[in-house]
Amino acid sequence: MIIIIGLVILIAAVVAGVAGVLANSGGGHALTRPFAVFGYHVTGSTGTLFLYGIVVGALALLGLSLLLAGARRTSRRGREARRGLTRSRRETAAATQDRDDLLGQRETARARTAGTPGNAPAASGPDPGADAGGAQHGKWRLFGSRSASPQAAPPGRAANDPAPDVPASDVPADADQPAAT
Q: Which of 42, 15, 46 is nearest to 29 (CA)?
A: 46
What is the per-residue pLDDT across 109-149, written as a single tens digit (0 to 9) for each?
A: 998 888 776 555 554 555 555 555 555 555 555 555 555 55
Examine residue 181 and state whether it is found in any structural domain, yes or no: no
Examine residue 81 and state whether it is found in any structural domain, yes or no: yes
- Domain containing 23 equals 14-85
Examine residue 121 and state whether it is found in any structural domain, yes or no: no
What is the per-residue pLDDT across 73-107, written as a single tens digit (0 to 9) for each?
A: 888 899 999 999 999 999 999 999 999 999 999 99
Residue 32, helix vs strand vs coil: coil
Mean pLDDT of the region 36-61:
82
pTM for the whole structure? 0.41
Examine residue 110 and state whether it is found in any structural domain, yes or no: no
Examine residue 74 and state whether it is found in any structural domain, yes or no: yes
- Tell me how many domains the chain contains: 1
Q: Which of 73, 70, 76, 29 is nearest to 48 (CA)?
A: 29
What is the per-residue pLDDT across 10-44, written as a single tens digit (0 to 9) for each?
A: 888 888 888 877 877 777 777 777 777 778 777 77
CA 130 to the chain's CA centroid? 37
Examine residue 161 and state whether it is found in any structural domain, yes or no: no
Examine residue 75 and state whether it is found in any structural domain, yes or no: yes
Contact 45, 24 (CB under 8 A): yes
- Give the CA-trace dihedral at 166, 169, 174, 178, to 10 degrees: 10
Examine residue 18 and state whether it is found in any structural domain, yes or no: yes
Residue 138, helix vs strand vs coil: coil
